Chain A
Amino acid sequence: MKLIKAILKPFKLEEVREALTAIGVRGMTVTEVKGFGAQSGHTEIYRGAEYTVNFVPKVMLEIVVTSDVVDQVVETIQNTARTDKIGDGKIFVLDVEQIVRVRTGETNEDAI
């Protein structure tokens, strides 16, 4: 079982969600985050006071899937979210030790 964390440009979220649903992914969690990699922030000026905002708004998508579909999910996310411009984001794949469905108590693969 794997946790896929994808940091994406906010306007790509809907497209990615649709694409993932189409390949059978049934749940995901989204967090609004800020960050930067190669992308630079922006400057705001208020009455002569200049502020450099380094962090750029992004969304972080978290999906837990069975190990056999990881490659397909990662590929789908990357193809859908890509704009060929700096700041497109990154995808991380982590191991999951245990999963429990709160409603029924089902565990691991049965809880995905």
Chain B
Amino acid sequence: MKLRNLMMAATGSALAATTAFAQDAAETMDTMDKGDVSFMIFSTVMVLFMILPGLALFYGGLVRSKNMLSVLTQTTMITALVMVIWVIYGYSFAFGGSSSAWWGGTDKLFLAGITADTMIGTFTEGVVIPEFVFIAFQMTFAAITPALIIGAFAERIKFSAVMIFTLLWVTFAYFPIAHMVWDGAGYIYNLGALDFAGGTVVHINAGVAALVGAIVLGKRKGFGKDMMAPHSMTLTLVGAAILWVGWFGFNAGSNLEANGGAGLAMINTFTATAGAILGWTIVEGTLRGKVSLLGAASGMIAGLVAVTPAAGSIGPVGAIVLGAGASIVCFFFVTVIKNKFGYDDSLDVFGIHGVGGIIGAVGTGIFTAPSLGGVGYSEGVTMMGQTMIQAQAVGITIVWTAVVSFVLFKAIDMTIGLRVSEEDEARGLDLATHGEAAYHS
């Protein structure tokens, strides 16, 4: 079975054509199916659910109670900020329709020219969905990516620094990479890289930025000595569960229509995750003697991350292997390798999203093979060939984001400063930064 071609190039440059010839197009070719539209609206809302309260609680439960509110607030504020930016210029920079390999241009600033009846293509010729729905769907992706990063510098970063970093980072890292990977004119897309729902665009991107941030900001005061255990594993599991449920919108929704492709993405999102949970917990249980809830939840997320780029092209049994493999590597990374390097990625953003994303993205090249249950490669592409392309995509993403993130973190540090004072860090960000407490005993 051949891999379907993305319609992005067609939709981008032909969007003007679509609106101009809307009458003709509607009569002859393009069909807007209400099932597809309701599916996409639902998927979009599911991704919002992943951020609020999913990610908010997942991360929130992992920090100390004196910093719980700061995590909830940062997640909420980043979401709001990025959504506004997206509508103003983010969508245009990512999917504006320019022929540049690096950015989408300015044609769709303020969503110019788009109305409720404007349609955009899907992966199936002749099937369209309202462009506003696509814009909203992609908007939630743009919002969740910077929200993932906050785990790296939790419990010690300045709130204003988070906001400014988010604004600049989505502009110079997220929008360009989204364009390069997902837009028909994009550089990485044209290499033939496969990234169904954002292994590179979202997870590797956020993971690497997080690693850079953790290193630039330095460790939390008392790291390695003070008690920094999660204050609520209960809320963390609630958050992780919401992430898994919402991820069906993230992955299946990336199919842009409700057909077999969405069904494939859905089942992969089940099996990879289940395999990953078992992978992590079996290894942990064997090596440590105890299976932990944090381990199960971490394995869950690692599997979800790994299947993200692969959801549309691998098979459900291959997904189990990909999920378990990624999660086991993540396990060793966060328990052994991270400690060797000695940096403080508080909530293991790089360890799970970065490492999991890298394995998932490269693994997509392998497990898309028909022999392994996948949908198969484009004409003339071999497993080795696709895997090399995947590695290239991963490499470009890592370098681009690492450089942009480093420059931004340093610039912000040199101007307004990244960290709160030692006193504020000891008091807790909730009281120090927000003048609020998450809990009163």
Residues of chain A whose beta carbon lies under 8 Å from any beta carbon of chain B: 44-49, 51, 53
Residue B288 at the A interface, CB < 8 A? yes
Q: Is the CB of A47 within 8 A of B229?
A: no
The list of the 3 closest CB pairs from A to B, nearest first, reads: A48-B335, A47-B334, A51-B229
Residues of chain B whose beta carbon lies under 8 Å from any beta carbon of chain A: 227-230, 288, 290, 292, 294-295, 298, 334-336, 338-339, 348, 351
Q: Is the CB of B228 within 8 A of A48?
A: no
Known: A45-B290, A47-B351. 7 other contacts (CB 8 A): A44-B229, A45-B292, A46-B294, A47-B335, A48-B338, A49-B229, A51-B229
- In the bound complex, residues from chain A placing their C-beta under 8 Å from that of B339 are 48
Q: From the candidates A45, A49, A53, name the one contacting B228 in the complex (CB within 8 A).
A: A49
Give complex CA distance A44, B348 in Å. 18
Residue of A nearest to B62 (CB): A46
Could you list some 26 contacts between A and B, CB below 8 A? Answer: A44-B229, A45-B288, A45-B290, A45-B292, A46-B229, A46-B230, A46-B292, A46-B294, A47-B294, A47-B295, A47-B298, A47-B334, A47-B335, A47-B348, A47-B351, A48-B334, A48-B335, A48-B336, A48-B338, A48-B339, A49-B228, A49-B229, A51-B227, A51-B228, A51-B229, A53-B227
- In the bound complex, residues from chain A placing their C-beta under 8 Å from that of B294 are 46-47
Interface centre among A44, A46, A51 (most CB of B within 10 A): A46
Give complex CA distance A48, B224 in Å. 11
Residue of A nearest to B288 (CB): A45
Residue of A nearest to B290 (CB): A45
Give complex CA distance A27, B338 in Å. 54
Task: Tell me, rounded to whole Å, the shortest Cβ–Cβ distance linking B162 to chain A.
Answer: 23
Give complex CA distance A46, B230 in Å. 8
- In the bound complex, residues from chain B placing their C-beta under 8 Å from that of A46 are 229-230, 292, 294
Task: Tell me, rounded to whole Å, the shortest Cβ–Cβ distance linking B221 to chain A.
Answer: 15
Task: Tell me, rounded to whole Å, the shortest Cβ–Cβ distance linking A75 to chain B.
Answer: 35
Give complex CA distance A45, B308 in Å. 29
Give complex CA distance A53, B226 in Å. 10
Residue of B nearest to A55 (CB): B227
Task: Tell me, rounded to whole Å, the shortest Cβ–Cβ distance linking A20 to chain B.
Answer: 28
Interface centre among A45, A46, A47, A48 (most CB of B within 10 A): A47
Give complex CA distance A53, B339 in Å. 20
Give complex CA distance A44, B295 in Å. 13
- In the bound complex, residues from chain B placing their C-beta under 8 Å from that of A45 are 288, 290, 292
- In the bound complex, residues from chain A placing their C-beta under 8 Å from that of B288 are 45
Task: Tell me, rounded to whole Å, the shortest Cβ–Cβ distance linking A54 to chain B.
Answer: 10
Give complex CA distance A53, B292 in Å. 17
- In the bound complex, residues from chain B placing their C-beta under 8 Å from that of A48 are 334-336, 338-339
Interface centre among B229, B295, B336, B348 (most CB of A within 10 A): B229
Give complex CA distance A45, B331 in Å. 13
Task: Tell me, rounded to whole Å, the shortest Cβ–Cβ distance linking A51 to chain B.
Answer: 5
Give complex CA distance A47, B334 in Å. 6
Give complex CA distance A47, B151 in Å. 14
Task: Tell me, rounded to whole Å, the shortest Cβ–Cβ distance linking A41 to chain B.
Answer: 11
Give complex CA distance A17, B227 in Å. 34
- In the bound complex, residues from chain A placing their C-beta under 8 Å from that of B229 are 44, 46, 49, 51
Give complex CA distance A47, B297 in Å. 11
Residue of A nearest to B233 (CB): A46
Give complex CA distance A24, B230 in Å. 44
